[in-house]
Amino acid sequence: MVREMLDWIRALDDLLFPKAPSCPLCGTRPSLPIGSCRKCFESLAVLWQISTIHGLPYGSLFAYQGFARDVIHRMKYQSGYDAAAALGTMLGLALREEPSFSDIDVIIPVPLHSERLQQRGFNQSAVLADNITRQWKRPIFTGIIRIKNTPSQSGLHSLARRENVRGAFAILPGYNLQGKKCLIIDDVITSGWTFQSMAQLIKGYGGMPVGAFLARAERDYS
Ligand SMILES: [Zn+2]
C-alpha cells in the first residue's frame, strides 16, 4: 500500500515537474536548449569561423581535436544518433546568426552510399541537416545521391582523396538548382575534396554552393 502510494506520488511528481532530458554527449548532466549540457558545450570549444577552400566559402563550428573529435568519432561509429542531433542543433544556432548565409535557399546534406547507409543505420549529415532546420527554417534538398561507394577518406593523401570522390555524386532526374544558393552540410572538413565534388555538381546544375561543417581538421595535405 505504502509502495503504491510512493509510486503514485513519483508519477505525479514527474508529471508536474518533468525532468530535463540528460545531455546526449555525456548522458549525465541535464541538457540545455543549446543541445548539450554546459560542461560538454564548453569542452567542444565552439568557435564559429568562416573560411575558404578550393575557392568555396564555408563555416565551421569547432576544431577537430580533443573532446570534439571523440564526440564525432562516437557519433559516426557507435550509432550516435542523439549526439548528431545535439551537434546539429548547435550548428543550426550558429547558422541562424551568420549574416553571409542569410540568403541560403536550400540545405543539402552530403549523402551516404546506400550500402554505407545500411551498415551505419543513419546518415549523420542528414541528421545534422534535420536538426539545423529545427533552429533555422530552410528546405532540405534530397535530389543528390552518392553513386560511388568510396572508401573512407581518412588515411588518404590529398590527391588520392580528390580521385576518391571524383564523380561520386549525381542529381536525380527532374531536380533543378538553377539560381539557388545551396548550403552543403557534413560533419568534418579536411582536404575539402568531398565538398568540392558536391559543389562542382551543384554548379553544373546552376546552383551556388557554400558549406557548413561541425569540425575543421588540420590540413597537413591540402
Ligand atoms: Zn554533457
DSSP string, 140-158: BP--EEE-S-PPPSTT--H
Q: Which domain holds residue 99?
A: 45-216
- Beta-carbon contacts of 160 under 8 Å, excluding residues fewer than 6 positions away, are none
Number of neighbours of residue 21 by Cβ within 10 angstroms = 9
Q: How far is the CA of 195 from the centre of ligand 1 (A)?
A: 30
| Residue 198: inside a domain | yes
pLDDT at residue 221, rounded to an integer? 45
CA dist 62 and 43 (Å) reads 10
> Could you tell me which of 44, 60, 48 has the C-alpha nearest to residue 192?
60
pLDDT at residue 1, rounded to an integer? 65
| Residue 37: inside a domain | no
Q: How far is the CA of 114 from the centre of ligand 1 (A)?
A: 32
pLDDT at residue 220, rounded to an integer? 53
Q: How far is the CA of 78 from the centre of ligand 1 (A)?
A: 17
User: What CATH number does the domain containing 130 carry?
Assistant: 3.40.50
Q: How far is the CA of 14 from the centre of ligand 1 (A)?
A: 22
Number of independent structural domains in the chain: 1
Cell of 192: 575539402
| Residue 35: inside a domain | no
Average pLDDT, 10 consecutive residues per value, the chain (222 residues): 71 70 92 95 97 97 96 82 95 96 97 88 94 96 89 72 83 94 96 94 97 87 42
pTM for the predicted model, two decimal places: 0.87
pLDDT at residue 127, rounded to an integer? 95
Q: How far is the CA of 72 from the centre of ligand 1 (A)?
A: 14
| Residue 201: inside a domain | yes
| Residue 26: inside a domain | no
Cell of 183: 548550403
